[in-house]
Structure 1
Amino acid sequence: MSSSTTPECNCRITLDFDILRQSQVFAGAPAEVVKLFAYLSRHRTYQPGASILLQGDKAENCYLIISGEVDIITRHRDQEIVVQRLRPGSFFGELALLARFDWFFSARATQETEILIISREGFEKVLSKYPEKRDKITEKVIQLRISRFENQTANLLDRLLEAGLSADSGPLIG
């Protein structure tokens, strides 16, 4: 970082550094790596009901909820279904750091929500500067997605069982 950064910018970077250090993906990562992610990230505040990302748009960013709540929503058979409600400290969109695709879900703020955004471009810049950290950080991103998938599957199964699905109903898929 250059000496041209303002005190306000340095303060934001310090706060973002602390937030990222406490997250699942960056816990244990070297300070210089986390600091660079903090420097390259940006903030955005969303009002209740505001769309953060839309199903079908190009996936280019990962999002970390600093405050507020976000509903993860998918459209299926012309219906909006809330798949999960995420709270502060939760990442979403993390796969956008690793691959190019269109969003398969939407995200909407349920209350005033502050988000820290990491772009794929910024992610690639950091990892090109620290190539020896690529595998470990990529693994953490994948582990985060697997954990969220497990939680979403458990929530879905709970809802199906509560709705009367029984074990003898046959396979859910296939």
Structure 2
Amino acid sequence: METIDLLKKNLLFKGCTHEDFELLSGLFVERKVSANTTIFSEKMPGEALYIIKSGEIRISLMAGEGEEVGLLQLGPGDFFGEIALLQESSRAVTARSETAAEVIMLSRKDFLALLDLDPRVAAKVTLSIARLLAMRVKAYSTKLREHLLS
């Protein structure tokens, strides 16, 4: 699947025009990931947003003494690492490939350049990220509550 087609199907880019997709697709870089590879781990600097082209990625966090809690299992079309675009901070979770995978990534540096290049497109993406982050916070809170109560 071409990058532009993947972007068109992703909720992060809802409301974008064909011209917006042309601009955005040029900012993403493809990366192949072997099975059982850590893409990023908790406390690493957040540097990019990832969208899965193929394969499966597991999102988890450490809850205590070496106990890993799975939060999400993601597949083609799903995205992760979005906080890195909005805030320069360390990762709150770990992302690991369960299978061989292909992802496209948008670096924070390139997203910040988009703010100067086309603020309208950057605003659309930022608003979508904010909405989707709110949904994920609810999902994570539910998972954490279930874990603590079990």
Match of 1:3 in 2: none
Counterpart residue type for residue 20 of structure 1: L
1:159-174 mapped onto 2 (5 Å cutoff): 163=150
- Residues of 1 paired with 2:20 and 2:109: CA distance? 15
Is 1:154 aligned with 2:146? no
| Residue-by-residue CA offset, 1:85-117 (whole Å, 9 max, x unaligned) | 112111111011111001111100001111110
Is 1:82 aligned with 2:73? no
Counterpart residue type for residue 107 of structure 2: S
Match of 1:60 in 2: 47
SS at match of 2:109: helix
Identity of aligned pairs, percent?
Answer: 28
Counterpart residue type for residue 117 of structure 1: M
Would the aligned equivalents of 2:57 and 2:73 in 1 still touch at CA under 8 Å?
A: yes
Q: Which runs of 5+ in 1 are unaligned?
A: 1-11, 164-174
Once the two structures are overlaid, the 10-residue window that deviates more, 145-154 or 33-42, is: 145-154
Match of 2:115 in 1: 127
Which residue among 59, 76, 97 is the counterpart of 2:85? 97
Is 1:140 aligned with 2:128? yes
Say which one has the larger Rg.
1
Q: Which has the higher contact order (CA 8 A, sep 6+)?
A: 2
Counterpart residue type for residue 70 of structure 1: I
- Residues of 2 paired with 1:137 and 1:40: CA distance? 13
Q: Which runs of 5+ in 2 are unaligned?
A: none
Would the aligned equivalents of 2:28 and 2:105 in 1 still touch at CA under 8 Å?
A: yes
Match of 1:27 in 2: 14
Match of 2:95 in 1: 107
Return closer, same or farther for 1:44/1:62 CA change in 2, 3 Å cut-off.
same
SS at match of 2:92: coil
Runs of 4+ in 1 over 6 A off after TM superposition: none
Match of 1:166 in 2: none
Give the alignment's TM-score, normalised by structure 2: 0.89
SS at match of 2:52: strand
Match of 1:8 in 2: none
- Residues of 1 paired with 2:145 and 2:92: CA distance? 20
- Residues of 2 paired with 1:93 and 1:111: CA distance? 18
CA-CA distance at 1:157 after TM superposition: 4.1
SS at match of 1:25: helix
Which residue among 14, 17, 20 is the counterpart of 2:4? 17
Give the alignment's TM-score, normalised by structure 1: 0.78
- Residues of 1 paired with 2:139 and 2:69: CA distance? 16
